[in-house]
Amino acid sequence: MSARKYSKELVDGPNQAASRSMLRGVGFETEDFSKPFVGIASTGAKVTPCNMHINKLSEVVEHSINLSGGKGVLFNTITVSDGISMGTQGMKYSLVSREVIADSIETVVGCLGYDGLIAIGGCDKNMPGCLIGMARLNRPSIFIYGGSIKPSDENTDYVTVSEKVGEFSKGSINEEELIHYEKISVVGPGSCGGMYTANTMASAIEALGMSLPGSSSQDATSDSKNVDCTNAGIAIMNLLEKDIKPSDIMTREAFENAITIVIALGGSTNAVLHLLAMAHSIGVELCLDDFTKIGEKTPVLADLKPFGKHYMSELNAKGGIQPLMKTLLEKGLLHGHCMTVTGNILKENLKDIAPYDTSEIIRSFDNPIKKDSHLRVLYGNLAKDGAVAKITGMEGTAFEGKAKVFNSEEEGVKAILSNQIKDGDVIVIRYEGPKGGPGMREMLKPTSAIMGLGLGSKIGFITDGRFSGGTHGFVVGHVSPEAAEGGLIALVEDGDTILIDADNDQLILKVHEDEIQKRQLNWKNPIKGPKKGVLAKYAKSVKSASLGAITD
């Protein structure tokens, strides 16, 4: 099959002279029209440190494509910042941006006849957004991770600052100390430095086979990241020549590999949402229960933040995730025959990888952080369609307490910071789901405040919203059906007993069924959503979190 499957329709023959004329206007030469066109989707923007350097990386990719016999064409898509918008109404746009990014990449590439695609992402939602766009288009594609930021000289990062807000509220530190941490903790480009959502998704995408080996484990400012970009330009030409497409790579077994890596690394609950959506976009059947099945045999091995001691940059210096993948393969926990963007199968990519020189960050199978998955899919009358918890066991594995109910994140944060939450409470924040938010806001602000106040192991927290990858503690998100859809979480009242049981994977409201039915008869949705604009469109089209909050 010709590597110019799409571009030739755009530029070949006398009838396409006007199209060629426009392209000459942006710098095309005559010889370029006979080369494969490769779109380069950059998420570069000055709106966030995660993406501030990505336009420069995209230029490295463009140069490599052009030297390798293709014609690279740069274009941009959006990014937003969870870290900046966290705890505000702006956070409602975060998950929505995943769909906007996927739509925009599909639109540009589909319109302009690019034969291949390289996308570069550096923040939580633009990575799965890029992959969803690639899957829909199903043209030879590679994803490049923008890389991780390094911690400060005092070993702090963005999540540190979030938790210091709780310490300030408690009176443990003063405002001057808080501002000190604010000033030093985020310096230079790169994504948040723990095994938060960005590094989780980058690792998952590499394990999926859609990034070159090592792409997920490089600092943003490193020489190795520039080499990654150069190699991607070369690799895309190989994929075009062999006609290796995302559908050849993003198979059911490849998604199982991605889930395995997420668990072994102690990754974010957001990976559940995003991997479900990515699988849907490529036509692979994946469900919540797959995370449970894989989790039964996969231990948590990485001592990485938020619950561990180390940052991603420390793991990068030790060899990144490749030695971990080699170990998991040898233990029979990865499918080695899956195709990857190198043009080789995973087993071939890993054959010469040396083991870690120490087990300080990645533990051995004999000494895991947890013998099975920290990602727990809970069911019960409070979550008939499922809920997702991140429970390492450090905070215990079961919690029962009395509900303190709030109809928005703002209400919950106000109560936490004014010391209204006590030992034994279960915070319930609802009407923050995909439809109810709309947009399923992340709850790092309340959970960080809880940790800063020293309540992490003393209270529970459930929501139909999401949790940041920086969250730790006894928390359960993605409760489905959500409150806005009449899920049982909408009927919880202050003082009700709630059981969170990660041993038996249950989320139970201990209220008699007769009382529940009485409340159901009196329930009316108190939330009036937006009437127009992107949030209104999203609320109309988005599906349950248990399906990945997909919109198509």
Burial 175-197 (b: 16+ CB within 10 A, else e): eeebebbeebbbeebbbbbbbbb
Q: What is the maximum alpha-carbon separation in the chain?
A: 77
The Cα–Cα gap between 58 and 85 comes to 26
Contacts with 513 (C-beta within 8 Å, 6 or more apart), sequence order: none
Q: Which residues share a beta bridge with 461?
A: 427, 475
Q: Which residues share a beta bridge with 119?
A: 41, 143
Beta carbons of 342 and 228 less than 8 angstroms apart: no
Strand 71-76, strand 475-480: pairing: unpaired
The Cα–Cα gap between 532 and 525 comes to 19
The Cα-based distances of 549 to 264, 289, 336, 337, 350 in angstroms read 24, 16, 30, 30, 34
The Cα–Cα gap between 141 and 280 comes to 18
Q: Which residues share a beta bridge with 386?
A: 480
- Among 125, 123, 134, CA closest to 41: 134
Q: What does the DSSP 8-state code read for residue 355?
A: P
- Among 392, 391, 355, 381, CA closest to 488: 381
Q: Of all helices (H) and strands (E), which one includes residue 400?
A: strand 398-406
The Cα–Cα gap between 91 and 94 comes to 5
Ramachandran quadrant class, 75 (left: phi over 0; alpha: psi -120 to 50; beta: rest): beta
Beta carbons of 447 and 471 less than 8 angstroms apart: yes
Q: How far is C-alpha 28 from the geometric centre of its chain's CA atoms? A: 36
The one-letter amino acid code at 318 reads K
How far does the chain reach from its first CA to its final CA, in angstroms? 30
Instruction: Kindly report whether the peptide bond that precedes residue 36 is cis, defined as omega within 30 degrees of 0.
Output: no
Beta carbons of 548 and 273 less than 8 angstroms apart: yes
* DSSP track, 212-253: -TTGGGSBTTSHHHHHHHHHHHHHHHHHHHHT--HHHHS-HH
Q: How far is C-alpha 164 from the geometric centre of its chain's CA atoms? A: 24
Beta carbons of 510 and 236 less than 8 angstroms apart: no
Q: Which residues are catalytic?
A: 468
The Cα–Cα gap between 386 and 382 comes to 9
